[in-house]
Amino acid sequence: MKILLLVLLLFPFLANADGVTKAETFTLKNGMEVVVIPNTKMPVISHMVWYKIGAADEQLGKSGIAHFLEHLMFKATKNYKAGEFSQIIAKTGGNDNAFTNSDYTAYYQNIPKEALATAMELESDRMQNILFDEKEVLKERDVILEERRMRIDNSPRSLLAEQMRATLFLNHPYMRPIIGWYHEIANLTVEDAKAWYKNYYNPANAILVVSGDITANELKPLAEKYYGKIPAGSKAIRNNFITEPKHVAARKIEFKDSQVKKPEVSRYYLAPSIIYGKKEHAYALAVLSYILGASDTSMMYQDMVVKNKKAVSAGSYYDDLNMGPSKFILSATPADGVSLAQIEAAFDANINKVLEHGVDEADLIRAKKAIVAASIYAREDLKNLANMYGAAAALGLGAEYVENWDNNINKVSREEVQAAAKEVFNSKSSVTGYLLPEENSKAAAARHKVGKTK
């Protein structure tokens, strides 16, 4: 299993181009949504079930329960032994996995077309029939604790990112890690898992997404056979009503660890998403992120790495696909002898250039072409397409978000990019993180002159 961060969704790169078949949709009588993305190039299928519930919907004190349940979905049901699900899929020549996000949880199988009915039967079975054997549940809880130790607690960069996220969001549940806080994972119970499963794993909260060599007409009788007879259940009451208060102070975090060999600097800005806040800026922010730091031709890379040699790496990242607020990220690794304050000053210089003068028309054109070209390449992957349509559906955006992505990107103007920058680049809504070596930390801080920037 894995936790899928939004960075892995390739959200900017999965739009529909002219001549490409669009998704077909329908809804079963029990409320389960169905999205079909036909592609007849190969006799293969990506089959996914998405649940409109994620880590952001967890009750206070129960962080990690969404991810915990994801693990338990691979345990025994009334009809299959633990691990048998994946074994059966593997025998068909396919593969399967799952991921948990702040806003949803998804399960998938990549299979030959002839194995579709098998995958649907297995997936519909575990939607209804998971057995919660206490010994197995608590054993899996220990597995997740070890996963947390390995992926987060043993990774200085991950720990800093976790602390920065918890600091950036003052009120929104995005402040909690998707995997959960260690002490809260350790206290999750069998009853907690049962309640999450009973309350949310039902057709009223589910979306079936099938991408590949099939049409909606072919899929509908199979969907009705395997999923249509399951009782609808009740829709989840989500935490998407929670909003951020006004941010009034810039924040800084310093994290030191003996595993760190070279210092790093990151800065998070609170940003709107395609759903939350001033969403009209979302597409322009995606373009701005590409212009600032998505490649070795970007503004920050050319300024900080190539021209002034202040950094050995520099980049930016923005994700518009959230139910709640997003974040715009700047990051860099200083060159030897360059202070962290100098890196921050370089961040500010690039930001101020955009705020005062906007972006170059040539950079804007290049960015939009690159994003759209990447979309043409990436949509060849059936799983990518299923991921994108599923994420959009889970957030209530619909297929049009995916199919109009490139058109919306192409419409972005220089004025819109500058307006988006002015909306987001407010130091009072930011968190800056320093990652430093632990050894001789006082000397390291002095050497890199951790301090105020202009």
Which residues are identified as catalytic? 70
**427 CB burial (10 A radius; 0-12, 13-18, 19+):** middle
In contact, 103 and 394? CB cutoff 8 Å: yes
Query: What does the alpha-carbon distance between residue 266 and residue 327 come to, in Å, rounded to a whole number?
Result: 12
The DSSP annotation for 373-384 comes to HHHHHHTTSHHH
**253 CB burial (10 A radius; 0-12, 13-18, 19+):** middle
Query: What does the alpha-carbon distance between residue 43 and residue 198 come to, in Å, rounded to a whole number?
Result: 35
The residues facing 333 across adjacent strands are 313
Provide the residue type at 357 as one letter. H
Query: What does the alpha-carbon distance between residue 335 and residue 305 come to, in Å, rounded to a whole number?
Result: 8
Query: What does the alpha-carbon distance between residue 256 and residue 237 come to, in Å, rounded to a whole number?
Result: 40
Query: What does the alpha-carbon distance between residue 390 and residue 52 come to, in Å, rounded to a whole number?
Result: 10
Query: What does the alpha-carbon distance between residue 193 and residue 70 come to, in Å, rounded to a whole number?
Result: 10
The DSSP annotation for 129-154 comes to -B---HHHHHHHHHHHHHHHIIIIIT
Tokens 């001789």 identify what position? 440
Query: What does the alpha-carbon distance between residue 118 and residue 179 come to, in Å, rounded to a whole number?
Result: 30
